[in-house]
Amino acid sequence: MARNLNEIMTSDVVTIKESQTVQEAAALMSEYNIGSLPVINNNGEIVGIITDRDITLRTTAQGEHPQTLVSEVMTAQQIVSGTPNMDVHEAADLMAKHQIRRLPVVENGQIVGMVALGDLATENIYANEAGEALQSISTPSAPQQ
């Protein structure tokens, strides 16, 4: 029996506003032991994602200040998201196609959940989809020049 994302998603999603700093983002990631945060605007709509990798490569490695705004380093172009009633198989395919490990779940423009590859992998019936998605996502890349 197919399941929907609302059955496996994490619904207590920690978010950060685009006007907050990368230092605040890093503190939230540390506090909640997570590697990414959905970025929202003042209306609560998702406008991007910031990851610990974004902070490392786009702020720390570039010598930027910890007070740099999240909006300056987040990934914002073409936010890929799912819906609560999306089938888990469809979500896994979407994650593989876009090479993402975390899928925000959005309803009426508001983030209502988050699904990670790990969520798929812990559901035994979706282990194959998680493995296939991870294989697509984990394609080696060359070092940046």
| Dist. CA 118–CA 74, nearest whole Å | 23
Residues 90 and 20: their CA atoms lie apart, in Å, by: 33
Measured CA to CA in angstroms, residue 19 lies from 14, 25, 71 at distances of: 15, 11, 7
CB atoms within 10 A of CB 97: 12
Predicted confidence band at 104 (pLDDT cuts at 50, 70, 90)? very high
Whether 54 shows a pLDDT value over 70: the answer reads: yes
122 versus 45: which is more confidently predicted?
45
pTM of the model: 0.80
- Chain centroid offset of residue 69 CA: 18
Q: From CA 98, how far away is CA 107, in angstroms rounded?
A: 20
